[in-house]
Structure 1
Amino acid sequence: MKIYISVDMEGATGVVNPLQVRAESPSEYAFGCKMQLHDLKAVIDGAFEGGATEILVNDSHARMINVDVSQLPQNVRLISGNLKPLAMAEGIKDGCDCAFFVAYHAMAGSFNAILDHTVSSKTIFSVKLNGTLVGETGLNAAVCMESKVPVVLVTGDKAVCEETKMLFDNERIVTCAVKEGRSNSCATLLPPEETYQLLKDAAVRALKTFNSTYISQDLFECPYNLEITFRQTSQCDTVSYLPGIKRLDGRTIQVQCDSADKVWRWVDAAVTLASSATI
């Protein structure tokens, strides 16, 4: 059984502050990388205990060169670096059976959510897919499930776990909260020794559920109606010039996609263009 793991950083044990997830702040960022690796190794250990024979990890945070491959065990492969056509879901088509989302965060605008954002905190205010507000969990799940790879585990703070339950409307997906936000950058934390066991047990439980005739559910139907609302009208101005774009209002564009892969490519392209706008 081959497990796919997309690992972010904001939802990792102990992480609460933007400095801890940015390479521009070396000492704080080192802590973020350490905790990201801690959570990743915990679910890897649980996955192998639960019956996995292979694991493919996609480093999904920022520059996507955060995970130290020398710290990973045998039978684990790491996708590291950028650019990636499927971004946080890169590698999902490589013959995987099910997926884990580890150290994830809640979508932009979530209450008491640690470092909440959707893809880019500087450019994106919100994203809707077929009329449903989604964050990175929803965007990546759409790609996974279109590829017939069910998402069986999501870990992070309490807010992203609640978001996951609402998105899937399915109690069979396992979530594991390693902290509870009190604001955007303050949380009640659990010590790493405690979260290690929680995460490992959650991974074992997720695979047990998957192995007992797990039924994958499609979150969204094709074609995909993607709406992106930007933080600034100037950002929307820049993106709206692309062919195939419909502008809905001062800050929102709409585009129709015939695959979830193309949804991610549009989001990535929109963020890149919006980042170049003069505000």
Structure 2
Amino acid sequence: GATGVTWPADVLPGTPQWERCRSMFTSDVNAAALGFYDGGADEVLVNEAHWSMRNLLLEHMDERVQMLTGKHKSLSMVEGIQHGDVDAVAFVGYHTGAGTEGVLAHTYLANSITGVWLDGVRASEGLLNAHVAAEYGVPVVLVTGDDLTCVDAEGYAPGARKVAVKDYVSRYAAVCR
């Protein structure tokens, strides 16, 4: 999850909490993009991939960032990776999977899916998307979310940098940084 997000209304379009949290999420994504530029990247494509896929504030992103936004993308959260010009991916604002501990833990549909497994392992969206990225030979180099998301990421992206933006207290509570 993104900085400050701990409650379902935080990600529900139209609520006051959503307006506040989408601004913080935009800041998280922008910080990651700036890190890529500082590290020498020529281009950064942000694939907006949370729920409605219309949450980030493009007008607050670094002007060099390109943003893919909206629904119905063939590879959903990792759309764009299939074109062969992606060197690395970052999973910003991620969370643990359905049926596990973690702030707002879910896999795709929080109210419908109680668990997803891949090769007998409970799968988070991070694990699933890391496998898609691996199919295209693209490494995951950054994962951000709560502290348990960072632990989960050790399993699917051991070489990636992990940044905890909050510490898990319960499904709906965290110590935010």
TM alignment of 1:154-233, pairs within 5 A: 154-168=143-157, 170=158, 172-190=159-177
For the 8 Å contact 1:110–1:159, the answer to whether it is kept is no
The residue aligned with 2:119 is: 130
Sequence identity of aligned pairs in percent?
36
* Regions of 4+ moved over 6 Å: none
TM alignment of 1:103-142, pairs within 5 A: 103-111=93-101, 113-142=102-131
| Cα distance in 1 between the residues matched to 2:65 and 2:88 | 15
TM alignment of 1:145-156, pairs within 5 A: 145-156=134-145
Q: Using the TM superposition, give the Cα deviation of residue 125 of structure 1 relative to its aligned residue in structure 2, in angstroms.
A: 1.1
Q: Using the TM superposition, give the Cα deviation of residue 71 of structure 1 relative to its aligned residue in structure 2, in angstroms.
A: 1.9
| Cα distance in 2 between the residues matched to 1:126 and 1:108 | 5
What stretches of structure 1 of length at least 5 have no aligned partner? 1-10, 191-279
Letter of the structure 1 residue corresponding to residue 35 of structure 2: G
For the 8 Å contact 2:11–2:21, the answer to whether it is kept is yes
| Cα distance in 2 between the residues matched to 1:58 and 1:98 | 13
| Cα distance in 1 between the residues matched to 2:124 and 2:86 | 23
| Cα distance in 2 between the residues matched to 1:123 and 1:18 | 14
The residue aligned with 2:76 is: 87
Question: Deviation digits for residues 211-254 of structure 1, max 9, x if unmatched?
Answer: xxxxxxxxxxxxxxxxxxxxxxxxxxxxxxxxxxxxxxxxxxxx
For the 8 Å contact 2:130–2:156, the answer to whether it is kept is no
What stretches of structure 2 of length at least 5 have no aligned partner? none
Q: Using the TM superposition, give the Cα deviation of residue 16 of structure 1 relative to its aligned residue in structure 2, in angstroms.
A: 0.9
The residue aligned with 2:34 is: 45
Question: Deviation digits for residues 144-178 of structure 1, max 9, x if unmatched?
Answer: 1101111111001001100011334x3x2210001
Q: Which has the larger radius of gyration?
A: 1
**TM, length-normalised to structure 1:** 0.61
Q: Using the TM superposition, give the Cα deviation of residue 56 of structure 1 relative to its aligned residue in structure 2, in angstroms.
A: 0.5
The residue aligned with 1:75 is: 64
Letter of the structure 2 residue corresponding to residue 179 of structure 1: K
Specify the SS of the correspondent of 1:40: helix
